[in-house]
Amino acid sequence: MSYQALYRVWRPQRFDELVGQQVVTQTLKNAIITHQISHAYLFAGPRGTGKTSAAKIFAKAVNCHHLEDGEPCNKCDLCKAITNGQLNDVIEIDAASNNGVEEIRDIRDKAKYAPTQADYKVYIIDEVHMLSTGAFNALLKTLEEPPANVIFILATTEPHKIPLTIISRVQRFDFRRISAKDAFGRMKYILDQKNVEYEEKALWVIANAAEGGMRDALSILDQVLSFSDNQVKLADALTVTGSVTKQLLEKYFFEVTGHQSAEALDTMKDILGEGKDGQRFIEDLISFIRDVLLYQESPELIMVESTGLTDEDFAKMSKAAPATALYQMIDELNNIQEEMRFTTHPDVYLEVLTVKLSQVDGQANVQPAPQANETTSTVDQNTQQTIEQLQATVKSLQATVKKLQSAPAASTRPAKQPSQPRVQQRKVEVKLSQINPVLGKATRRDLVEIQGLWQELLSKLSVPQRSLLHVSKPVAASEDGVIVAFDYAFLFQQAMDDSELLASMEQGLQELTGNERHVVFVPKDKWPQIRREYIKEHGLDKHQPQQSPRPASQQPVQSATSESEQPPLPPEPGEPVGEPPTSAESGPTDTVSKAQELFGSEIVKVEDN
Ligand SMILES: [Zn+2]
């Protein structure tokens, strides 16, 4: 028998088997149990997160006559036929290859006919964003007059490419990235079932490398299995995933925090010698330092076993530098990551970086460091001579960088922007599509309510979740949404990756307020800007006293209070809640002009996924 890929053999056949999508699967099951089935769905989310699997399970569940708590039985003829792709009434279409108008017209014509064997005809259109405009129009016509007993399930990795006219006619479900923990659990389960031996650390390496895609995790697992003769070993997992070996990174970390720049430069070369490119090295280093920071905050915040290192390693590393120094290092890394995108000489940047990191001591930052007293002694140990040498090295390296930057290769980019706003750092993905609807309906009253029960909400969460939210606070709220801002971008990212956290928060909020509220996260440094952009885009700066007042007849009913003058605006972070804005200082127009002053009229790039 030829070998079958794991992700095919172990494709989930029940909602319960779909990893990491509890919110989606529970909602779908409820819809089936209560017979509230819509005629069109949109399953949006990153690749390999279970969208088409969920679509097929749904197709079975709506047709199976032996439902068990909303799950298909997988035993009856209909279930089996759908699983094997042999039921004529369940039609799978890959829009990536069938993107023509003809194919969709064909659907339109055939959809009219009642299902032949099943109760419902189900069309699953994968990668639906690939359809041509003509095909979308044809699809829209069908969705506008949906034939009875026909269900459309549209799946996509890029929902923003789908016309709004289509979006408004479907029920949308967002599939989340699979957490490393969930991917680990699923792989462990599969290997246990197959009686294959494995090192747990290897599974963690694979789970992390898969970056949120279950299918990717299983594909890597397949490779490691073929590599190591039906065993899963850590060394092989590291080779296959190409992750920089943690041991080298740990060595590098101790060297830079110990201010040993010469040794650190050697280690960096070793790491690059392993065939890693510079960008990957920096990404690995950022997540490495992030883990150390989280461990410092509270060891429960990270799953040590998922890192390939031990608890002792982390205990040592978290003492090697104060949090302020680690934050500075992450800043340096973020900066260099930006700059390196335009260079053909990454080595020089990495050398400068290494020297700079070796100099970071957390002192330059004004923020009081909790463990500041521990650092003074290490700083003292550095002789003045070493410092001078390092300064000389940095100067010469910086000169080289400057030369390179003015070289033709680098000068091809439009007018050099010396100080790009931090918000343009990559990797921080803000979901404007979820934020703006909350802003549209936000009121101070809702915000005050949420702020009032924030502590109570936190007390409902697990310890790691609580410590993660320790640096967050609600900044806007509506009757069905809450926007939560995080002090640090990397903690924001951590929260975004945690599907359980969102679910627990939403559940907690519902228990406390009785309202179903959607929770959206933002990094704090981006929040004022998102708010300003929203005000600007929605013309909320128009109702200003200094502008010629409109005739009374045209004016919306409003009183002189600030609340009605500024439509549902949430307060600025830090602004006293519930009080009217004082003077022009916090008036919307002023906010906008300030925003323009600061950022120009150029639209700040915020990725909208
Ligand atoms: Zn069945």
How many CA atoms, within 13 angstroms, populate the side-chain half-sphere of residue 78?
24
Whether domain 6-174 has CATH 3.40.50.300: yes
**What would the DSSP string read from start to end of 305-320?**
GGGTS-HHHHHHHHHH
Q: How confident is the model at residue 182 (pLDDT cuts 50, 70, 90)?
A: very high
- DSSP secondary-structure letter at 244? P
Chain segment 550-607, per-residue pLDDT in tens: 444 444 433 333 333 334 444 444 443 433 333 334 444 444 444 333 333 333 333 3
- The answer to which of 51-55, 463-467, 483-487 has the lowest mean pLDDT is 463-467
Element housing 523 (H / E) = strand 518-523
Span from the CA of 11 to the centroid of ligand 1 (angstroms)? 17
Q: How far does residue 5's CA lie from ligand 1's centre (Å)?
A: 25
Measure 229 CA to ligand 1 centroid, in angstroms.
Answer: 38
Instruction: Please give the pLDDT value at position 403.
Output: 63
Work out the pLDDT band at 364, boundaries 50, 70, 90.
Answer: low
Across 29-43, 240-254, 472-486, 560-574, least confident range: 560-574
User: CATH homologous superfamily of domain 432-533?
Assistant: DnaA, N-terminal domain (3.30.300.180)
pLDDT of residue 424: 32
What pLDDT sits at residue 386?
Answer: 57
The tens digit of pLDDT for each residue in 221-275 reads: 998 988 777 789 988 887 777 655 677 888 999 999 999 999 999 999 888 876 6
The reported pLDDT for the residue numbered 387 is 60
Distance 26 CA to ligand 1 centre (A): 19
How far away, in angstroms, is 81 Cα from ligand 1 center? 10
* Distance from residue 14's CA to the centre of ligand 1 (Å): 11
Spatial CA neighbour of 215 closest among 500, 498, 8, 496: 8
pLDDT of residue 360: 87
Cα–ligand 1 centroid distance for 539 (angstroms): 54
Task: Provide the pLDDT confidence category of residue 468 given band limits of 50, 70 and 90.
Answer: confident
Reply yes or no on whether the pLDDT at 391 is more than 70. no
C-alpha 531 – ligand 1 centre gap (Å):
49
Distance 53 CA to ligand 1 centre (A): 16
Ligand 1 center–CA 80 separation, angstroms: 7
Q: How far is the CA of 538 from the centre of ligand 1 (A)?
A: 50
Give tens-digit pLDDT for 134-155. 889 989 999 998 888 999 999 9
Res. 75: pLDDT tops 50: yes
Q: Angle at which helices 278-297 and 311-320 pack, to 10 degrees?
A: 90
Query: Where in the chain are the domains?
Result: 6-174, 180-241, 246-358, 432-533
Give pLDDT, residue 38.
94
Output the average pLDDT for the chain. Answer: 78
Q: How far is CA 183 from the centre of its chain?
A: 16
User: ∠70-76-82 over CA atoms, to 5°?
Assistant: 80
Q: How many whole angstroms from 127 Cα to the centroid of ligand 1?
A: 27
Q: Is the pLDDT of residue 88 over 80?
A: yes
Mean pLDDT of 163-186: 92
Å from CA of 67 to ligand 1 middle: 7
CA of 61 to the centre of ligand 1 (A): 7
Domain 180-241 has CATH 1.50.10.20: no
Give the mean pLDDT of 193-216: 89
**Does the pLDDT at position 609 exceed 60?**
no
Distance 438 CA to ligand 1 centre (A): 40
Considering the entire predicted model, what is its pTM?
Answer: 0.51
Q: How far is the CA of 312 from the centre of ligand 1 (A)?
A: 51
The Å distance, Cα 62 to ligand 1 centre, comes to 9
Short-list 328, 234, 248, 312, CA closest to 280: 248
Ligand 1 centre distance from Cα of residue 216 (Å): 29
Residue 564: the pLDDT is 36
Separation of 71 CA from ligand 1 center, angstroms? 9
Helices 246-257 and 311-320, axial angle in degrees (round to 10): 20
Q: Kindly state the average pLDDT of the residues 84-99.
A: 87
CATH, domain range 246-358: 1.20.272.10
Distance 327 CA to ligand 1 centre (A): 54
Rounded to an integer, what distance in angstroms lies between the CA atom of residue 496 and that of residue 522? 9
The per-residue pLDDT for 600 is 36
* 12 Cα to the center of ligand 1, angstroms: 15
Alpha-carbon span 288 to 307, nearest angstrom: 9
**What residues pair up with 483 in beta bridges, in sequence order?**
476, 520
**Poorest-confidence range of 96-100, 120-124, 330-334, 378-382?**
378-382
Contact (CB, 8 A) for 467 and 300:
yes
Ligand 1 centre from 488 Cα, in Å? Answer: 48
CA of 60 relative to ligand 1 center, distance in Å: 7
Mean pLDDT of 276-288: 83
Q: How far is the CA of 59 from the centre of ligand 1 (A)?
A: 10
305 CA to centre of ligand 1 in angstroms: 40
Closest CA to 120 of 155, 91, 84: 91
